[in-house]
Amino acid sequence: MKKKAAAIILSVILSGALLAGCGSGAKSTGTDPAPTAASGEEDAGGKEDASGEPGDRGQQTGAAGSAMTTAAAAATAAAAQTAKTDEELAAECAALIDAIYVQERTDTTDADIAAARAAWDALTDAQKELVEGEQADPDYFGRDTGDASLDDPRNGDGIGDNELLVVSFGTSFNESRAMDIGGIEKALQEAYPDWAVRRAFTSQIIINHVQARDGEAIDNVDQALARAKANGVKNLVVQPTHLMHGAEYDDLVAAVAAAAGDFDTVHIAEPLLGEVGEDAAAVNDDKAAVAEAVVRQAVADGGFESLEAAAAEGTAFVFMGHGTAHLAKVTYSQMQAQMDALGYTNVFIGTVEGEPEETACGQIIEKVKAAGYKKVILRPLMVVAGDHANNDMAGDEADSWKSMFTADGSFEAVDCQIAGLGRIPDVEAIYVAHTGNALEAEPDFTGKAADREAGAALEDGIYTAAFTTDSSMFRVNEANDGKGTLVVRDGQMTIHVSLVSKKIVNLFPGTARQAQADGAVLLEPTMDEVTYKDGSTEEVYGFDIPVPAIGEEFDCALVGEKGTWYDHRVSVSDPVKVQ
């Protein structure tokens, strides 16, 4: 629905509410209105008189009630009741919900959220059951997912110099948000007390849902970065709670890269499962640690003494991940390889999306049957136990994993454990370690403030300077004796270097991973002519490379003609002013 149309609908709803009293602007259903308020907000559906007590507008007496006779009040109410049907009011509410079920935040988002909430609160219980739209249904506001007041949105100001921004996809399930995401955040705050832990979600759809239903405001990534800048944060560490280097992670890196200049240093920590290996057989310490932690917890929650004891009783554990079309989907195959390497013969990895193909529910059912197990315990391989865990895995619909395993008829029992990875202490410890590793490494980005400080020792001007790399292929052309031209302007430093050939087609002032993220701005080559000692000349590629500091190594990734990115470390030293 267009924003203007949503505003008109809200105006009609609110006008009807003013005329009809408690918001029952529909024909009589025999059910009293039961408006509810968002947490921390005033009841948008009920009406109060000047004393703050509920008042019947058509039955008041005395000075306040004398302005409207009983007959006039009855006529007004009757007119409002016949103005719109229950179905029309429910449809208007559904349209307002659909209008905020979007990934983009705009200048009208907060008002749109308030409009959807007001429309819902103005409905009777019977009318709420009729709400149905493209995304809207009665559960959008009505489903009980736990106590939202137990969650801390971590959106405060007064951050200080050092911020640890924990970025999650997010969930509208209150209990999971508090226990899974909140568990990771609390573990990080305890481990790094000198850093202010703040939160951001990447899903605006979820942010809007939580704000509309519970009155809880959660920052998206852009808002969180803007908050950090406004608070004067100097050093920023970003810890994603994502499982892998997938599309969400790539988008996050690009957003952080775009804002990196607002801070002195920016570190981006690894996601839970670490780097993505080259093929399905690739495993690493992070994957092993996660596999051991989630299996150990699942076995304990299932009441078994050990995984072997569960196998002896004919029980298999199936861990359901999300799945992705991103190249990182191989991670799920690697997690199965990791389970196999650990000797977990009764553990299987699947995905909701069925990507990779061998992780689809039907494929997993056949694998469990072939292995001879008659009992199955389903558990999410996801940071949060949100919509996918509650509906796609454990729901009662025919297409849920529980229903499909049951419908197959091959299993004596199909049970579900609805718990996210984020509430497992050993998993929280992995995130803590990843943040620690990021803090010990060189920054992924050094911002404008650091650039100005680094260049402060050099006056504005043009210098010759040595350009050193860790590669014999990536180096300054021999005609230039290992040196480039360093330009200093207003504390910003850039060195131009001529390379040995045209085989390096792009550079990036950062890592290869960052270079491949959406939105990354690559350094384009210039065409340089170099003159050798024998008088011969050659055309080669040159590049203008930002320099964060003199005498300190920094990342500079390159890509050649075959399209493969490589990480390198470079440094600039020994500047001599020539102009």
Residue positions annotated with a catalytic role: 322
Starting at the edge strand found earlier in the chain, the sheet holding 162-168 runs: 196-201, 162-168, 235-240, 265-268, 445-446
Q: How far is CA 184 from CA 155, 240, 418, 460, 529, in A?
A: 16, 10, 17, 46, 55
For 441, the token pair is 């490494």
Q: Are 486 and 464 contacting, i.e. CB atoms less than 8 angstroms apart?
A: yes
Q: What is the DSSP string of 22-40?
A: SS--BS--S--B-----TT
Hey, what's the torsion of the CAs at 57, 63, 68, 70, to 10 degrees?
Answer: 70
Residue of 202, 207, 192 lying closest to 160 (CA atoms): 192
Hey, what's the torsion of the CAs at 499, 500, 502, 504, to 10 degrees?
Answer: -60
Q: How far is CA 379 from CA 14, 111, 334, 386, in A?
A: 45, 38, 18, 12
Q: What is the DSSP string of 105-151?
A: --TTHHHHHHHHHHHHHTSBHHHHTT---SS--THHHH-----GGG-
Q: Which region, left, alpha or beta, applies to residue 170 given φ > 0 means left and ψ of -120 to 50 means alpha?
A: left
Residue of 335, 352, 242 lying closest to 293 (CA atoms): 335
In this structure, which amino acid lies at residue 475?
R
Residues counted in the chain: 579
Q: How far is 196 from 350, CA to CA, in rounded Å?
A: 36
- Based on the number of CB atoms within 10 Å of its own CB, is 395 exposed (0-12), middle (13-18) or buried (19 or more)? middle
Beta bridge partners of 201: 168, 220
Provide the H-helix boundaries in 316-400.
Answer: 330-341, 361-370, 387
Q: Are 475 and 511 contacting, i.e. CB atoms less than 8 angstroms apart?
A: no
State the helix-helix crossing angle for 109-121 and 86-100, rounded to 10 degrees.
150
Q: How far is 124 from 28, CA to CA, in rounded Å?
A: 10
| Segment (H or E) for 497 | strand 492-498
Q: How far is CA 493 from CA 485, 527, 570, in A?
A: 10, 21, 14
For 360, the token pair is 């689809």
Q: What is the DSSP string of 44-81?
A: SS--B-TTSSB--TTT--HHHHTTS-HHHHHHHHHHHH
Backbone angles phi, psi at 7, to 5 degrees: -65, -40
